[in-house]
Amino acid sequence: MTSAPRLLFPVPQPTVPVAGLDAVFPVHRIYCIGRNYAAHAREMGSDPTREPPFFFQKPADAVQVVMPGTVADHPYPTLTNNYHYEVELVAAIGVGGRNIPVDQALTHVFGYAVGLDMTRRDLQRAMGDIKKPWEIGKAFDHSAPIGPLHPVSQVGHLAAGAITLSVNGEVKQSSTLGQMTWKLAEQIANLSQAFALLPGDLIFTGTPENVGPVVPGDVITAHIDGLPDLSLRITDRA
């Protein structure tokens, strides 16, 4: 009987802890929707009407787990001088599928977490200006801080609560989940037409208006009703 091929070297599996369980959620892919709150679309120079949603990805190992009650060190990244926060609700897929109907989409969700889509805004804009992909602005180390996942069985489906972000105690972003242009069920249905969604996928569901820069020494606190806060301290460049 032929043995399985030997791995040349081990590759770590990114994971996110699950609240209340002695288990972790293995991360497969990270999908992010762009400009999914009308006021944020306007501040980014886009038309906030319901144009088709668009998505980008971050690598699975971009996750930085931040436990409740802690303030995690988060290194200011290389190559940028305009580093932005974006608070987002994160949905974790527990049941995969293709061409998922909207009315069945939420049954594929395992749970929710608070997340940040950290962005090298100057690099993102520079690439956009010359019509080139802007992964360099979005898909880098530590660019997806996330708190523990909370199963739907514990918190239900989060659709209407407050979503806020403060820097050094001053509120910068403040909205409600109900202000999403494309609701989570619609995002799942749309994504599943382009990709086979799989258990382990994370969906960052968009950020409200008033994104802005942080510098070393700043403390970010991200809040979504029904979930514990996520807090980071920006440290010097890695």
Domain spans of the chain, in order of start: 17-237
The backbone torsions φ and ψ at residue 190, rounded to the nearest 5 degrees and listed phi first, read -65, -45
Q: What is the pTM of this model?
A: 0.94
* Averaged pLDDT for residues 202-212: 96
Return the pLDDT at 160: 93
Question: How many other C-beta atoms are found inside a 10 Å radius of the C-beta of residue 109?
Answer: 20
Q: Is residue 192 within 8 Å of residue 93, measured between CB atoms?
A: no
pLDDT of residue 46: 64
Q: Read off the pLDDT of residues 71-127 as tens digits, 9 standing for 90 and up.
A: 999 999 999 999 999 999 999 999 999 999 999 999 999 999 999 999 999 999 999
Going by the DSSP 8-state scheme, the letter that residue 236 receives in this structure is S
CATH no., domain 17-237: 3.90.850.10
Please list, residue by residue across 30-66, b when 16 or more beta carbons sit within 10 angstroms of its beta carbon and e when fewer do. Answer: bbbbbbbbbebbebbeeebeeeebebbebbbebbbbb
